[in-house]
Amino acid sequence: MSFEFRALSHPFPRWFGPYSPACGTTSGLRIQLGVLGTYVTTPTGQQRWVAHQCAGVQQLQTLVVSRWGGGRVLLMPNGWVIKPDPTGNGIRWAIGRFSGPLILQRGDGTFFNMASPGALTPGMHWLGPDTTGLECTLDNTGAIQARSTIPTAFGEIITEIPLVPRDAQLARGLALARPGCGRARVRVTENGHVITKRDEAASGWTSVYVGFIDPSRWPHDEEWVESAVPQAPQLQFDVSVSDDEEIEDEFEDEADDYELESAEVAVDGAADVDSPAAPGTQSPGGLGARLKSALLEFWCRLQRLWCRMKSCLVAFLGGT
């Protein structure tokens, strides 16, 4: 089975599901000079691994280059292909679906199959790319959550989205990959393999394997796309005090370093492929989009008010 891509019809719907922002200019999958690839740190230095040029990859490249000139794309583990708006406004577009393995060509000409990375068991070193896929949180029950951020005129609506309920295999994988860790940041790669990073004395933070998740188990698949979202997403607030162990991993120092796509600079020195959109490219607009934006802003106000009320109630009850 090869990588296949099926584009959605233009204008593309907005994406309201989980999303991982890019950190710096060399993380994630990017189409640069018309070719899809990602940067990987190897024992000999950083290399750019490019996608095997099958028909599906070429169709994806042609679509992104023709409308945006290139730039970052996110291949969700459940098959959605997401493109961040090049204006840096925080909007993301669902541009199509993919199926089949993503195969990357190493610098030496050999191939790495993201669907079949070899005989790996939890705790073994992961030798593939470690900045692609969806960033999530995995706890010691095996439950996975991800974050969705929706921009509004009054700020952002941030939703924690449960992706996987308790899973014994993932819990075991976390225990082997990160002994004694109650929660950790993980990445669910394009074809469903879960990886994290472990602090090793000799080499620092090193990518290790956790396990596999069947993306077909994920909930809310179609509900994350604009045309199938009948109302603003539910927000979850927790105003109780918790003594849970804080997440300890390599992402802590990077949390504040996320940059807007429009501010990135391509490695070849040219203007970044995610620079402001050219005429004719996708941009928000239309009565439906404005109505949804207004509803989301109103929803955000209600949720903030409810959060304040709950906080006051908890403080009052705690003091009596």
Mean pLDDT, each 10-residue run in order, the chain (320 residues): 93 92 85 96 88 97 96 93 89 94 94 94 94 94 91 82 91 96 94 93 87 77 70 43 41 35 34 39 48 63 63 56
* pLDDT value for 154: 78
**Radius of gyration, alpha carbons of the chain:** 20
User: Quick one: three-class SS letters along 41-67?
Assistant: EECCEEEEEEECCCHHHHHHHHHHHHH
Which of 90, 59, 88, 94 has the alpha carbon at shortest distance from 74?
94
The predicted pLDDT at position 291 comes to 61
Cβ neighbour number for residue 297 with a 10 Å cutoff: 16
> Is this model's pTM higher than 0.75 or not?
no
The pLDDT value given to residue 86: 86
- The pLDDT of residue 277 is 42
pLDDT at 255: 34
Residue spans of the domains in the chain: they are 4-251+285-318
